[in-house]
Amino acid sequence: MEKIEQISSSGYTAKINLTRGANCISLRNDIHSANILREPDYTKPLDNEFIYGMPILFPPNRISDGKFEFDGRVYSFPINDTGSNSHLHGELYSKEFTLTEKTADKIVCEYTADQDNPYMDFPHNFKVEMTYTLSEDGLTQKIEIYNLSSAKMPALLGFHTTFNSVFAEGGLPENITVLAEFDEEYERNPKTYLPTGNTLNPDDISTALLYGKFNPFTSVSKHFRAEKKQKLIIFDSKKGLSVVYEPDKKFKFRLIYNGDASGYICLEPQTCLTNCPNSPFDREYAGFDYICPNESKIYTSKIYIK
């Protein structure tokens, strides 16, 4: 049984699935007849649970061999991507969150990992508080991660945010373009999708993304650094409407992916490079971060129609 809560304000309506990682599975704007996020159909098995709504990734993307070391400890995660012999995306997206507060335009929920409710083999107690708020400014998502343990806790976070390529009623594929700014593009091993340690010169697709001319009905799977250049916009030239995604500046990396280019595009903000703890790059450069004992870190993002 899916536990889904709904909030509304200023022409926006959002649905949050508490059962599946407090995923915002629907965001609509009635004023512009816009269906912004790709919505799941829970009446049948999902083909891929990562390409609907805004699944939380903790840690994001792949960890090679499912292991890394930090501060004298070995962190071990199950191998769930056998093709790359990696752990993929964590399991927080599948955990049930508890509703702690709800008003007409705001919902707050949380997940706590402890001895009675361990998170994989992650050796830390922690809490994630997720807040969604709707206003004239659209959807604001606030995530606060609390380290409830006595040791420094790795904090590697991402979202597999999945948008409808055609988001406005009556829109046509040929009128849609995507802007996804970036500073650097990373080469990945074509078999494991792990960064090789090399950067790439922009090809035609990367250049189109950089300058807002990419049509999302062309296949794409690319990994970027986006620390200085961060804009993410889906534009319908005929409607004169844009979906704007503004991830927190802490999300210095991103993946752009659209599967078989059949009508959705994932604009995936990550605080770290894929395989960051085992990266061929320096860990600090690759975005490795941690939270000190009894402290927390906040990440805030926005989605709106312009």
Q: Where are the domains of the chain?
A: 4-305
pLDDT at 70 over 90: yes
Average pLDDT, the chain: 97
| Percent of the chain residues past pLDDT 70, beyond the cut | 100
Residue 11: per-residue pLDDT: 98
What does the pLDDT look like over 189-230, one tens digit per residue? 999 999 999 999 999 999 999 999 999 999 999 999 999 999
Residue 19: its pLDDT value, please? 98
Residue 84 has what pLDDT?
Answer: 94
Q: What is the pTM of this model?
A: 0.97
Residue 1: band (very low, low, confident or very high) from pLDDT cuts 50, 70, 90: confident
Cα gap 273→284, rounded to integer Å: 10
CA atoms of 21 and 105, how far apart (whole Å): 19
pLDDT digit string (tens) for 81-128? 999 999 999 999 999 999 999 999 999 999 999 999 999 999 999 999
Q: How far apart are CA 287 and CA 251, in angstroms?
A: 9
Q: What is the pLDDT of residues 7-47, one digit of tens each?
A: 999 999 999 999 999 999 999 999 999 999 999 999 999 99
Q: How far lies 254's CA from each of 78, 183, 231, 278, in Å?
A: 24, 11, 11, 18
For residue 165, pLDDT over 90 is answered with yes
- Distance spanning both ends of the chain, measured CA to CA: 35
Q: What's the mean pLDDT in 176-186?
A: 98
CB 78 within 8 A of CB 63: no
Mean pLDDT to the nearest integer, 54-63: 98
> In angstroms, rounded to a whole number, what is the distance separating the alpha carbons of residues 303 and 217?
22
Percentage above 90 pLDDT, the chain: 100
- Let me know if domain 4-305 sits in CATH 3.30.43.10: no
